[in-house]
Amino acid sequence: MTTDYDLSDAQLLRYSRHILLDELGVEGQARLLRSHALVIGAGGLGSPALLYLGSAGVGTITVVDHDTVDVTNLQRQIAHDLAHVGAPKVESAAARIAAINPQVKVRALRERADAALLDRLVGEADVVLDCSDNFATRHAVNRACVAHRKPLVAGAAIRFDGQISVYDRRDPADAELPCYACVFPEDASYEETLCSTMGVFAPLVGLIGTMQAVEALKLLAGVGRSLAGRLQMLDGRSLQWDEIRVLRRADCSVCGDHAER
């Protein structure tokens, strides 16, 4: 038996708790099964994001990461385990997704996310999740998303502090919604903080990465209101969330009025 949206009996059973949601239902689940998510980074943020995208039934997931699993990663990067220490993170994450949901197609690319690679991959995806840990990659991802008009779900976490937002420039006529560079300009000076030197509270990356999955799944299924135009910041010490409205900058070097297209 199949439905109008071609879900098999096995899929109807596997995704039954989604299908029970009025906002999602069979149609929304079918959209997820037909969708393609691109995830940049398979570390602390990428681990929970990837596992939830896979368990939720996103049909195709492309994951990009050049690194290998280190024992110091296991404190927070829940897609990996001792058996995969020394293995490429993308292969470890793909194996974990397959163990949860073998119906999902995972493309594991052990490469650096440079501009050329991103230009090719972003154009193929329906949503992009930036789970990287440095500004150079974040800006490269943002440029590709603006160029290809793909929604970007960007998260970051260090020490006890996390942040998340959605940057959605699919409609250039929307004068208010910013891109990542509107909020964090490319020419600004930021102190690059790394987990290896500053530390990071293990569950914090789980919270932010899981929220990235939430936002990506909402975008793919067409439900709810995304975080586009809103930046949420978490202080993990007090579990206090703050939200600020963020706007497009007309002088933005990426999406501004005089930016190179």
Going along 105-214, which residue ranges are E strands?
A: 105-109, 127-130, 152-158, 161-167
237 within domain boundaries: yes
CATH number, domain of 181, equals 3.40.50.720
What's the confidence (pLDDT) of residue 2?
Answer: 37
Kindly tell me if the per-residue pLDDT of 152 is higher than 60. yes
What's the confidence (pLDDT) of residue 187?
Answer: 84
Note the pLDDT tens digit of each residue in 171-222: 877 889 999 999 999 887 666 666 667 889 999 999 999 999 999 999 999 9
What's the confidence (pLDDT) of residue 3?
Answer: 40
- Once rounded to an integer, what is the mean pLDDT over residues 116-136? 96
What's the confidence (pLDDT) of residue 194?
Answer: 64
DSSP secondary structure string for all residues of 22-46: TTTHHHHHHHHHT-EEEEE--STTH
What's the confidence (pLDDT) of residue 201?
Answer: 95
Name, in order, each residue with C-beta under 8 angstroms of 160's C-beta and a sequence gap of 6 or more. 201, 204, 235, 236, 237
What's the confidence (pLDDT) of residue 190?
Answer: 64
CA 156 to chain centre: 10
Instruction: Report which DSSP code applies to 133.
Output: S
Note the pLDDT tens digit of each residue in 22-78: 999 999 999 999 999 999 999 999 999 999 999 999 999 999 999 999 999 999 999
Name, in order, each residue with C-beta under 8 angstroms of 141's C-beta and a sequence gap of 6 or more. 40, 113, 118, 122, 128, 130, 132, 152, 154, 180
What's the confidence (pLDDT) of residue 1?
Answer: 31
When the pLDDT of each residue in the chain is averaged and rounded to a whole number, the result is: 94
**Of 257, 200, 260, 211, which Cα lies nearest the Cα of 233?**
211
**Of 46, 214, 17, 224, which Cα lies nearest the Cα of 131?**
46
260 within domain boundaries: no
Q: Are strands 152-158 and 161-167 parallel, antiparallel or unpaired?
A: antiparallel
What's the confidence (pLDDT) of residue 193?
Answer: 65
SS3 98: helix
166 within domain boundaries: yes
256 within domain boundaries: no
231 within domain boundaries: yes
34 within domain boundaries: yes
261 within domain boundaries: no
Number of structural domains found in the chain: 1
**Of 258, 234, 228, 85, which Cα lies nearest the Cα of 153?**
228
Note the pLDDT tens digit of each residue in 156-171: 999 999 999 999 998 8
Q: What is the pTM of this model?
A: 0.94
1 within domain boundaries: no
What's the confidence (pLDDT) of residue 77?
Answer: 97
What range defines the domain where residue 179 resides?
Answer: 10-245
Position of tokens 């993170």?
Answer: 89
